[in-house]
Structure 1
């Protein structure tokens, strides 16, 4: 199938940051085969022609760290610090999960993501009490692209810890590449505080033997830094480096509390950072110095974390917050300009999670893109300042259409792959049942 999309403004988010005001894009076999100015010649010998009627078109957004199985926990445990929030709210509730709860929560999270413009995500989940195979199958049916990873913990008895590692290793083997390559997995030790050194060494082994990336929470709070120093006489980054975790490409969620020496280590080992500004603010964890990370040559992507700590999955809001925080922290409006911010939410984020085949509108890249119709939206006027509006004014609710692999996932704000009414009804029923059983 060869399809031409025309009569639109295309924001490519490629390295040259091309913008085509009267642009055209040709998609064939899931790939972009042409992106540029309108060409009558390219309208020939095509199967389908789509007039976008003046819409804005940009790459789908990339959420580099999420927890979609926690979407059902939105609004639970608000206004708490990270450690008590996890230990008294999140983890106890997750221990009551069933596969049905996990599957519905995943669908709700994906529904929210795609309808707000996210086409690619990287996630880690707590496997306790659920069948991860069914959940992964459910995710595959939604059409989204991403990495869904089995969290490794060092909780419970020695036998329970062993089973957790065995489960994670089997999941890594089974789901390295599925759904026609749209979905993969990473090896996901939860954090240096929730995993023993032995579990972290095993995580590194599993990642190396299966040629997978690592996804882990690191350096999120001052308390974590002190805790790991007290336990192991090293800060988290050095602790993980010594255990060999960074020997495989690693996505480090948060990175709020880092020093210059640690940023140099991240650069040396190609450790990438998933920056979660709103979650870090809500949990009182602090503000990551993203400007210093970028100046040190560290790859950075933008992320939402879970709706239990955010409380939404709107990447437009997330990237705007990221930009404004850096400007405010440095008291310098030139820091973190729009081009940098939007790159981190698209092409840069895709590179962070090892999916450089998406994230920008370029020839031979996957046809993952979203559209916005700005003409009836007062907050996107004057329309001539479109690039600015994408960062400083746009909302997830402005997204009209979402395509992944060239397939329509959302059309005119209706998701075509998820039964929206059923999911919304079921998650409310299931949350009530879950909380009543605690």
Structure 2
């Protein structure tokens, strides 16, 4: 196994007593082997096959994006400034119905390039043609939790075909790409999947031993529809169907009452907070501070580039810190360090990877993002966690590693052909809109 060393760097630990330190970090194979302040011990330097000079760089855990639809990068800018249901039913779904496997492959490749360039090392993706998504993850070197999202507004035989497809994808890809790919099961949403269909998906998740993921309570209209159709709000509805009997991650969770927050906490359900997408679609502002206080794991997601319109998780981190201050009138609502945890540690926790990634700690996977601090907005050298949250952006990312393998060096993608991806993505879009 290759052993290499970073010297003279600044490292983010997110520990309350010492959130950053100057020093060294060593990697052996795919894991962090050691780390410490000051100069690296002589034996670390002697054992290193490669030494990376960390001067002018701030190293943090790779960012974790817990909700998205990567292939929808092909739809960026297609239908902006619309309400959620209009956006979905009249623009997104009709165009997505034309997607073939190649469209998903190149759209996901475009998203993968954007995520690596902005420091994301792990992402959750819910879509169709998931085998093609997995191919991109394997090639790009990223870590991902992937799920074939299913919409149940179709005849019973089509429902069964979709569920079988989701199960087969999970069997084919869970644990593949040297363990970097994990599978989930996903009914798209309570309003797009009949109750008995959700129960079938839950049963499949139990059989396969997999977590569940869904959209939930994204808009007020969705909640009202759930009450009309089933006599209850989405949280109680999903609970009654056994959804929370598996480790569960729900996206959005914007419209919750106190009882629902308490139930999510009791069931150990994690939430993917998507502040930019929720604002753009005027879905509302999730009660993230209340969820955090209740003990719910709140992570961050970009949703798709069609509703964001970028995949820069630094933007979600900053907005998570700022937005809740503004709407609550409390400047302490989401402190900078907590917002950064939402994009790293809490993201890992939300998808069952705590103790695997999401932190810089010996024994964990060597998933690292290095940000260049040789820029005006990182001066003066006061609080680097504050700078990362309130001043940094994805363009500051210089290098990225996953499993100890470098994916980005000096802003150059090492595992993906950016020029080819841009060309093919544009070609796919023109065919879809032709």
Q: Calculate the TM-score normalised by the size of structure 1.
A: 0.96
In 2 relative to 1, CA 194–17 (structure 1 residues): closer, same or farther, beyond 3 Å?
farther
1:46, 1:241 → 2: CA distance? Answer: 51
Aligned-pair CA distance for 1:261: 0.6
Aligned-pair CA distance for 1:381: 1.6
SS at match of 2:326: helix
Aligned to 2:26: 26
Question: Would you say 1:170 and 2:171 are equivalent positions?
Answer: no
2:207, 2:18 → 1: CA distance? Answer: 37
In 2 relative to 1, CA 253–349 (structure 1 residues): closer, same or farther, beyond 3 Å?
same
SS at match of 2:33: strand
Q: Name the count of aligned residue pairs.
A: 430
**Contact 1:189/1:203 (<8 A) preserved:** yes
Question: Would you say 1:324 and 2:296 are equivalent positions?
Answer: no
Deviations 1:65-118 (A, max 9, x none): 011011110001101111111111111111101111110000000100010000
Aligned to 2:64: 62
Aligned to 2:351: 353
**Contact 1:342/1:391 (<8 A) preserved:** yes
Aligned to 2:77: 75
SS at match of 1:181: coil
Deviations 1:188-221 (A, max 9, x none): 1100001011110011111111111101000111
In 2 relative to 1, CA 79–361 (structure 1 residues): closer, same or farther, beyond 3 Å?
same
Aligned to 1:196: 194
Aligned-pair CA distance for 1:324: 0.6
Aligned-pair CA distance for 1:158: 2.2
Q: Which moved more, 1:199-208 or 1:38-47?
A: 38-47
Q: Which moved more, 1:156-165 or 1:292-301?
A: 156-165
RMSD over equivalenced CA pairs, Å: 1.2
**Contact 2:62/2:344 (<8 A) preserved:** yes
Aligned to 1:10: 11
SS at match of 1:93: helix
2:107, 2:62 → 1: CA distance? Answer: 22
2:385, 2:111 → 1: CA distance? Answer: 27
SS at match of 1:179: coil
Aligned-pair CA distance for 1:390: 0.3
Q: 2:123 aligns with which of 121, 124, 135?
A: 121
**Contact 1:201/1:243 (<8 A) preserved:** yes
Q: 1:293 aligns with which of 288, 291, 301?
A: 291
Deviations 1:278-302 (A, max 9, x none): 0000001000010000111101101
Q: 1:227 aligns with which of 225, 228, 239?
A: 225
In 2 relative to 1, CA 101–90 (structure 1 residues): closer, same or farther, beyond 3 Å?
same
2:394, 2:18 → 1: CA distance? Answer: 22
SS at match of 1:50: strand
Q: Which moved more, 1:155-164 or 1:140-149?
A: 155-164
Q: Calculate the TM-score normalised by the size of structure 2.
A: 0.97
How does 1:244-323 map onto structure 2 within 5 Å? 244-323=242-321
SS at match of 2:47: coil
**Contact 1:32/1:366 (<8 A) preserved:** yes
**Contact 2:12/2:21 (<8 A) preserved:** yes
**Contact 2:7/2:40 (<8 A) preserved:** no
1:255, 1:45 → 2: CA distance? Answer: 48
SS at match of 2:407: strand
**Contact 2:122/2:142 (<8 A) preserved:** yes
Aligned-pair CA distance for 1:136: 1.6
1:93, 1:348 → 2: CA distance? Answer: 34
Aligned to 1:368: 367
Gaps of 5+ in 1: none
**Contact 1:115/1:410 (<8 A) preserved:** yes
1:11, 1:394 → 2: CA distance? Answer: 14
**Contact 1:374/1:383 (<8 A) preserved:** no
SS at match of 1:25: strand
**Contact 1:12/1:58 (<8 A) preserved:** yes
1:164, 1:387 → 2: CA distance? Answer: 44
**Contact 2:137/2:143 (<8 A) preserved:** no
2:133, 2:76 → 1: CA distance? Answer: 19
Aligned to 2:213: 215
**Contact 1:61/1:118 (<8 A) preserved:** yes
Aligned-pair CA distance for 1:15: 6.7
Aligned to 1:95: 97
